[in-house]
Amino acid sequence: MVKTKAKGKYTLETIKDQLAKYEETIKKTKDDIKKNQESLKTEQGKLEAMKTSAVTAKLKGEDRAKQEVEITGQVTKITDLEGKITRSEAALIEWGAKVTDLKEQRKEIKFNVEVKVLEAKEAEAAVLEAIKTVTDVELLNRKRWLASKMVGDYKKCQKYMEEFTMIFEKQGQVIAAELGDHTRRLDVANGAITALKEKKTSLADAKKTKDLEI
């Protein structure tokens, strides 16, 4: 039980650290996405302005080569920003799944530890109840030994519980029979003592004769 709790505690601490790192990374990534989205809107606005300028220049018959180069560069910048946002959003989905998985692991570990604690408490309660019901000293000492062993090896010995119960009940029946036999012998002895006292009284009250003296 102690080993299980210690292992569970270590695993929970590890999960806690991992969750903290993921949450920090997720928060930073969300902030980056927000900044990149704002930058994307700005750059898209610039691109629209460039396109408008290019149309105006065309109408005026001006050279558009320089503007087209600028538009191409702006499109590349926007594409890079969109790529960053897409990758960041994909990473958020992946990290969110990992966070969910870690939280589920944490729940499962806590549940398993609670189950182990309950099993240990139930085993301890069963052992204590068995000890209280035993009256014979030798059987009581044996049951204490069995109980201490069962507490340590409860899970391994669970399949033998039915056999131990049968032994316990059989020993209880033997003890009950022996106690009944002792009670019967005491009754017989008390009856014999009473009869002897009556005989002694009747002899004390009898007249002394030769036969009586003999």
| pLDDT value of position 62 | 58
The DSSP annotation for 58-69 comes to HHHT---HHHHH
Contacts of 171 (CB under 8 A, 6+ apart): 136, 139
Return mean pLDDT, the chain. 77
| pLDDT value of position 16 | 87
Whole-number Cα distances in Å, 125 to 9, 111, 129, 132: 25, 21, 6, 11
What proportion of the chain, given as a percentage, has pLDDT over 90?
A: 1
User: 185 pLDDT band (50/70/90 cuts)?
Assistant: confident
| pLDDT value of position 187 | 86
Name the most confidently modeled range: 98-112, 154-168, 196-210.
Answer: 98-112
Average pLDDT value for residue range 129-153: 64
Q: Of residues 121 and 187, which shows the higher confidence score?
A: 187
| pLDDT value of position 133 | 63
| pLDDT value of position 176 | 83
Residue 129, number of CB atoms within 10 A of its CB: 9
User: Residues 11-50: pLDDT tens digits?
Assistant: 888 888 888 888 888 899 889 889 988 888 888 888 888 8
Average pLDDT value for residue range 183-196: 85
Can you give the pTM of this predicted structure? 0.43
> For residue 207, what is the DSSP state?
P
Written as one letter, the residue type at 18 is Q
| pLDDT value of position 113 | 76
* Cβ burial 85-116 (10 Å sphere, 16+ → b, else e): beebeeeeeebeeeeeebeeebeebeeebeeb
User: Residues 67-123: pLDDT tens digits?
Assistant: 778 888 888 888 998 898 899 889 888 888 888 888 888 888 887 777 777 777 776
User: 64 pLDDT band (50/70/90 cuts)?
Assistant: low
